Chains A and B, each alone.
Chain A
Amino acid sequence: MPSAADIKQRIEDAIPGAQVDVEDWTGGGDHFRATVVSPTFIGKSRLEQHRMVYAVFGDEIGGPIHALSLSTKAE
């Protein structure tokens, strides 16, 4: 079961310059909410930005991570 800190670390490791905040929404370790701000998002659509974050977790989304709610910002 990943923790909010694990999720944050993995996003920061994968997306250059990312400032990440992760909250465990339900306290159950499977519904998370992440805010990700990164300069690598500049010029990308919101759809592409979210895809980049989802890609960090691959099949874990919908598996051990039931939900990862995202808010992304290019900066």
Chain B
Amino acid sequence: MSETENPLRDAIAEAISENDVILFMKGVPEAPACGFSARATACLQALQVPFASVDVLPDPRIRQELSALSNWPTIPQLFVKGELVGGSDIIMEMYESGELAQTLGVDAPAQAPESAPAGADPAPAPLGIENRLG
């Protein structure tokens, strides 16, 4: 990490680089605080992919710095292996087409649902909740 005047942005960049799959969201996977974050979470859980998550709500600067870093204005934001995959619209489109499973290196669900799994069965708990940014 380079020395900068922006430790928060550095911490965000570090979280992105250290976690293969990380979702910046409103709320936590167990209790998303926004429908868009809920849908992104449901897609990942339906694919049974462990993911780290960061709740952007505790401090508005997290969202500001994240958006400055990613050049993406909205929440949620999904990063896979350090790359921005997209927001909830792209995550859902990719889930439905099977591209998300491909990107994440997992098998697509045996029965492809017709739409995003809003009420999907609860998946195993994510590996860990990354929230050292707050």
Tell me, yes or no, whether A binds B: yes
- Seen from chain A, the residues whose Cβ lies within 8 Å of a Cβ on chain B are 46-47, 50-51, 54, 61-62, 67-71
Chain B nearest CB: distance from A19 CB in Å?
A: 18
Q: 6 A-B residue contacts at CB 8 Å?
A: A47-B90, A54-B72, A54-B73, A54-B74, A62-B74, A67-B74
Residues of chain B within 8 A of A51, CB atoms compared:
71-72
Which of chain B's residues has its CB closest to A69's CB? B89
Whether, in the assembled complex, B86 has its beta carbon less than 8 Å from a beta carbon of chain A, the answer is yes
Pairwise interchain contact A50-B36, C-beta atoms closer than 8 A: no
Is A46 within 8 A of B90, CB to CB?
Answer: yes
Q: Which residues of B contact A47 (CB under 8 A)?
A: 84-86, 90
B29 contacts A by Cβ under 8 Å? no
Contact string, B83-106, partner A, CB cutoff 8 A, digits 1/0? Answer: 011111110010000000000000
From B36, B74, B84, B89, A71 is in contact (CB under 8 Å) with B89
Give B64 Cβ to nearest chain A Cβ, in Å: 10
Partner of A50, one of B63, B67, B75, B90: B90
Q: Other CB < 8 Å A-B pairs besides A47-B84, A50-B87, 14 of them?
A: A46-B93, A47-B85, A47-B86, A47-B90, A50-B90, A51-B71, A51-B72, A54-B72, A54-B74, A62-B73, A67-B36, A68-B74, A71-B89, A71-B93
